[in-house]
A and B are shown apart, each in its own frame.
Chain A
Amino acid sequence: MNVEVKTYRKGEIPGIIAIDGQNCRGCDACKRYCPTGAITGMFGATHRIDRDRCISCGQCLINCPFGAPYETVDTVEEVQAKLGDKRYTVAAIIAPAVRVAVGEPFGLPAGSLVTGKMYGAMRKAGFVIVDNNFAADLTIMEEGTEFIQRARHALFGEKAEHGGEIGPLPQFTSCCPAWVRFVETNYPSLIPHLSSAKSPQQMAGAVAKTYGAERIFKVDPEFIYTVGVMPCTAKKFEASRPEFQSACNFVKERGGASPGTPYPDVDTVLTTRDLARLLKRMKIDLAAENNAEGGTLFAEYTGAGTIFGNTGGVMEAALRTAYVVLTGNNLAKLEFEEVRGLRGVKSASIQLRDAKYGKDVTLKVAVVHDIRANIRPIVEDVLAGRSPYHFIEVMNCPGGCINGGGQPICDTGSSWIGRILPSFAWS
């Protein structure tokens, strides 16, 4: 870990994933899941991760047959200590994909939706709930509105309200931190195409330490400790990005107490696996918990926020917002089924009438996941100016966040052996 890195800024965690040479068999399985070719080492030899190329997605970690990749950042003990420190309000920002996965480590069937049990367990542990679905609703209003502005600028020459620069089309989503880093390190000329909206995690952190500190929790923002609870290892990297200190800057600008050390919007991130470990350390059995409410405004959300965890979810949510804003009418049918499912690249055309300009427009959108296999042709088309799309959702992991690098590791997948083994109970 002493190798100098070139693609990280001061303060950023330089690579979340490393490989344990003792466990690595050099089988090359991990290389087949890495979207950036960041795993080096010849077949048969111990593999390593080139941190400059790594986007911290963790796909190697959840797919290695021998458990060789591991996370370099583990803050479970730190979070437990903060939970025990009565000066702090510890806010859990819980991503949508976590609630259908965190039941597994507690013996519940894979895919069990445990939102109420999770709220109960986390409140028992001492967290206050800032559901990331709430922030996803904020994100989609920001991102959807930004898209409408870009589209109207491109189609009708509309200027920015405050004279600022308007980004080009197609607009790419920016929720996935692995995808954002992929663009920054592989296709930096595409950065203006990324939505300027922060991810839900970062919006949640900033909101918790500003509006939340003043109106909900009524505490000094310096004593709110925000914990992203994510299905994603790259979110640990995202939280460490130096630009994400909005709450601290906001407090400073308003003349609030100036902190000695600038504090981040999100103090730390736990993966779904980390959360299960934390609860077990605290002897809290999530499976045995009763359903509980979130307890604050931050636990209120819509179905649009909920579907962020699947490929196509962000696009579907954005289209719902765009439709309402552009046409001035509510959708008769909420679902955009063309952008659902597990095809690598999904596309759709939506015809609607822009009420402000009185003109019909056709929006062409695409949804891409598993960027290792699917993104490069899409990106090359954009760079060559021949992309037919106006808005493209990209998620790094196959299937979206639901299959993120921080989720419980499913050893057997759809294996028939995995189904038979429990029949041979042993102890």
Chain B
Amino acid sequence: MTDSSFILKHPMQVRVFHFILAVSFLTLAVTGIILFQKPLQEAAMNTVIQIHVVAGVVMTLDALAFLFLAFDRVVMFTKRVFTFSGNDLKWFTVLGGYPQKILLHKKVEVPPMGKYNAGQKLFGIFVLVGGTLLILSGWALWTLPHIIPHGDTSMIGTIHLYVSWILILFLLVHLFLGIYMVDDFKAMFLHGRIPYEDAAEKSPLWVKNDICKIG
């Protein structure tokens, strides 16, 4: 492989899933904050919760479609985010070198990572677990609040609230770094490919162990 080669990091089904997830989650986050703060009049609040419900249904269908249509991708993603080594701990000690790079314009040594760095793994775990909790709790709060024992409904509401806030905070970091790493951003939202040299720098273990030349 040469430096001018590209690596397909995000196949089509991943990009479609991610795009719908991004749009639906951003919608859910904004409408969820409005529902929490209640700043609007009655009819507007009703519209907001209707948008929230529709976005929630879209996110659910997106997750289910990805689960069933790209099950291998789900398995690979799950395996990758739940696979840890000593390098992950070391990565956290320098936070991937990003603060030094962004704030001090300094480059520090970063432990070699696989396809996902340690921060992305942590985010991935929260997206997997938290996203599942949000979907299940959201459906329960929408459809069954009068049937589920209300102590449980209240607890489900609290889980929905706190998981939402955690994921929104993660999302802010994810958005910033996603835009900061413009090649990865373009890959995820456009063509799926990242430059070889970029992958070799940020994900050397992935390039070394999992990538092979095709064509």
Our count of residue pairs bridging A and B at CB distance below 8 angstroms stands at: 80
> Is chain A's interface secondary structure helix, strand, loop, or mixed overall?
loop
Closest CB-CB distance, B52 to chain A, in whole Å?
Answer: 8
What is the minimal beta-carbon distance from B33 to any residue of chain A, in angstroms? 13
Interface residues of A in 390-427 (CB under 8 A from B): 410-415, 417-418
User: Given that A42-B45, A44-B46 are contacting pairs, would A29 and B153 also be in contact in the complex, using a CB cutoff of 8 Å?
Assistant: yes
User: Which A residues are closer than 8 A to B by beta carbons?
Assistant: 21, 25-29, 32-33, 41-46, 63-67, 410-415, 417-418
A65-B43 Cα distance, complex, nearest whole Å:
23
- The complex places the Cα of A414 from the Cα of B45 at a distance, in Å, of 33
- List 6 additional A-B contacts (Cβ < 8 Å) besides A32-B146, A44-B49: A43-B46, A45-B46, A65-B150, A410-B149, A413-B150, A413-B151
Q: Does B155 contact A (CB under 8 A)?
A: yes
Knowing A63-B146, A65-B145, the reply to whether A44 touches B45 (Cβ < 8 A) is yes
Q: Kindly list chain B residues whose C-beta atoms are within 8 Å of the C-beta of A25.
A: 35, 141, 157
Give which listed residue, B45, B48, B52, B153, contacts A65 with CB less than 8 A: B153
Q: Which residues of A contact B42 (CB under 8 A)?
A: 41-42, 45-46
CA–CA, A410 and B152, complex, Å: 11
Residues of B within 8 A of A41 (CB): 42
Given contacts A29-B146, A32-B146, A418-B149, contact A411 B154 (CB under 8 A): yes
Give the CA-CA distance A32 to B151 in the complex, in Å: 17
Residues in B lying within 8 Å of A, measured CB to CB: 35, 38, 41-43, 45-46, 48-50, 52, 141, 145-146, 148-155, 157
The SS class assigned to the B binding surface is: helix
Q: Can you list 18 residue pairs at the A/B interface with Cβ under 8 Å?
A: A26-B35, A26-B45, A28-B145, A43-B46, A44-B45, A46-B45, A65-B150, A65-B151, A65-B157, A410-B149, A411-B149, A411-B150, A412-B149, A413-B150, A414-B149, A417-B151, A417-B152, A418-B152
Residues of A within 8 A of B45 (CB): 26, 42, 44-46
Out of B48, B152, B157, name the residue touching A44 (CB < 8 Å): B48
Min CB gap B144→A, angstroms: 9
- Chain A residues within 8 Å of B157, by CB: 25, 65-66
Distance in angstroms between the alpha carbons of A410 and B38 in the assembled complex? 28
Contact of A63 among B49, B50, B150 (CB under 8 A): B150
CA distance A28 to B38 in the complex (A): 16
A65 in contact with B49 given A27-B145, A29-B146, A33-B146 (CB within 8 Å) = no
CB closest residue in chain B, given A40: B42
Q: How long is the Cα–Cα vector from A44 to B41 in the complex, in angstroms?
A: 10
A415 and B154 CA atoms in complex are apart in Å by: 13
**Which chain B residue has the least Cβ–Cβ distance from A415?**
B149
CA distance A67 to B52 in the complex (A): 23
Given A42-B43, A45-B42, do A26 and B150 touch, yes or no (CB 8 Å)?
A: no
A162 to B42, alpha carbons, bound, how many Å? 58
Closest A residue to B155 using CB positions: A417
Q: CB distance B46 to A65 under 8 Å? A: no
Q: Which residues of A contact B153 (CB under 8 A)?
A: 29, 65-66
Q: In the bound complex, what is the Cα–Cα distance between A45 and B44 (angstroms)?
A: 8
Residues of A within 8 A of B148 (CB): 65, 415
A415 touches B46 (CB 8 A): no
Residue of B whose beta carbon sits closest to that of A409: B150
Residue from A44, A412, A414 in contact with B50 in the complex, judged by beta carbons closer than 8 Å:
A44
Kindly list chain A residues whose C-beta atoms are within 8 Å of the C-beta of B149.
410-415, 417-418
Complex interface: chain A residues within 8 A of B152 (CB): 411-412, 415, 417-418
Given contacts A29-B146, A44-B48, A44-B49, contact A411 B151 (CB under 8 A): yes
Residues of A within 8 A of B48 (CB): 44
Which of A29, A33, A415 is B151 in contact with, Cβ under 8 Å? A415
Nearest-CB residue, chain A, relative to B142? A27
Closest to A62 in B: B150
List 7 tightest A-B contacts by C-beta distance, closest first.
A44-B49, A411-B151, A65-B153, A413-B149, A42-B46, A65-B150, A45-B45
Note all chain A residues with C-beta closer than 8 A to B154: 65-67, 411
Are A64 and B46 in contact (CB-based, < 8 A)?
no
B50 surroundings in chain A (CB, below 8 A): 43-44
Question: Most B CB atoms within 10 A — which of A28, A42, A66?
Answer: A42
Q: Which of B43, B52, B150 contacts A29 (CB 8 A)?
A: B150
B-chain residues with CB within 8 Å of residue A44 when the two chains form the complex: 35, 45-46, 48-50, 52
**Residue on A nearest B158 in the bound complex, by CB:** A66
Give the complex CA separation of A35 and B183 in angstroms.
Answer: 60
Most buried by B among A25, A28, A64: A25
Minimum distance in angstroms from A28 CB to a CB of chain B: 7
Cβ distance B212 to chain A, nearest Cβ, rounded Å: 49
Q: How far is the CA of A413 from the CA of B146 in the complex (A)?
A: 12
Residues of chain B contacted by A21 (CB below 8 angstroms): 38
Shortest CB distance B152–A (Å): 5
